[in-house]
Amino acid sequence: MEDGEGMLEIHSPVSPVVDICFIHGLSGGRVSTWSKDGVFWPAQLLSKDINDARILSWGYNADVSSFWNPESSNKIEDHARLLATELRSQRSTPESTKRPIIFVTHSLGGIVCAYLNKESAPLMIVGTLFPGWLRARKEDPETEVHVMCFFEERATHIGKIVEKTSACIEGFEQLSLSDDHIGMCKFSREDDNNYQRVMNELRRWVEAIKAKGEKHVKDVRQIIPNIQTLSLTSR
């Protein structure tokens, strides 16, 4: 499996109960962001620990130089539209449109995910109106969007890339990972404590979905009731 643009199907059981979609961040890749020492953990670890989930990883042009070029068309909103389109393509059968979605995002990927809700655009309000929108939905179990925010414990050689106050959304669960911004989403062993923290949260959500039963998806162009987000440094 290699980096590239578009949706990569990693694991597809016969009767999946949920889709788990990985979205990398700036300068990342759909495989390299989630790999360490030759281990692509969504494929080699997670697919064994949660074997009744279909696992996907989405790649997009997140090159630093092109992304911040004002003349570039590679804007966050454009990425979100493309992601929504490719999700609809992946979820075109009657069975798949009813499946809940869990997003696992890193850094900029969390903002791209937020843009799936058209009410959250433009970017300047993602940090203010979007959390409020999430909290409002939290009041209603029929529309609730679950969010778990992970934040980096360690600094890189230039310091912490995203501080806890920026990585977490007030009112939602949060956990630390004992690595820096780059390493916090890379695991190579099943007994890695960081992997166990992330995997156990995913497993908890999947088990809750199985216990609750199916919820119907109305439109994947928005963040809908059965979308959940696990953010490995979301902003």
CATH number for position 214: 3.40.50.1820
| pTM, 2 dp | 0.81
What pLDDT, in 10s, does the model give residues 36-50? Answer: 999 999 999 999 999
What pLDDT, in 10s, does the model give residues 141-195? Answer: 666 677 888 877 776 666 666 666 666 667 777 788 888 888 888 999 999 999 9
Domain ranges, residue 181: 6-232
Tokens of 33: 């962001």
CB 219 within 8 A of CB 30: no
Cα gap 233→168, rounded to integer Å: 7
Do the domain assignments include residue 1?
A: no
Do the domain assignments include residue 33?
A: yes
CB 108 within 8 A of CB 62: yes
Nearest-CA neighbor of 120 among 5, 234, 24, 205?
A: 234
Cα gap 210→204, rounded to integer Å: 10
Nearest-CA neighbor of 150 among 116, 100, 186?
A: 186
